[in-house]
Amino acid sequence: MRGRTLILGILVGAFAAALSAETWKNVSVIDSMCVDKAKANPDKHTKKCALACEDGGYGILTADGKYLKFDAAGNQKTVAALQATSKTDALRATVEGTVQGDEIQVTSLKFE
């Protein structure tokens, strides 16, 4: 009986996690060091600056002006995606992940 309860608990937890996953499309990816100055015009924020400010981490600027930072794995995914993209500014992406507080646990990130 305990085994069934444990398995049921794991399945319910996995289902709840899947339901809370979100996708943000065409959002600006900005490093945390530049978010305040980039809010006025995030498309002017450059790839060069984003890579130079890597140590501060990254996040997205939502349509309502809120900044959601990425977890450590999301920061690593962002650096790899920045290095691979030919974009030089207007760093917009599709980001998938789960929000916990003011942080996104990023499962995927792809520049558009």
Looking at per-residue confidence, does 63 or 52 come out higher? 52
- Residue 91 in any domain: the answer is yes
The CA dihedral of 43, 89, 75, 36, to the nearest 10 degrees, is -40
The pLDDT of residue 104: 98
- Residue 74 in any domain: the answer is yes
- Residue 45 in any domain: the answer is yes
For residue 24, the one-letter residue type is: W
- Other C-beta atoms within 10 Å of 79: how many? 14
Residue 67 exposed, middle or buried by CB count within 10 Å (0-12, 13-18, 19+): middle
**pLDDT confidence band for 20 (50 / 70 / 90):** confident
Which residue range forms the structural domain that includes residue 68? 22-111
- Residue 48 in any domain: the answer is yes
Average pLDDT estimate for 15-23: 68
pLDDT tens per residue, range 77-100 = 999 999 999 999 999 999 999 999
- Residue 55 in any domain: the answer is yes
- Residue 16 in any domain: the answer is no
User: How many domains does the chain contain in total?
Assistant: 1
Two tokens at 14?
A: 């996995």
- Residue 11 in any domain: the answer is no
- Residue 80 in any domain: the answer is yes
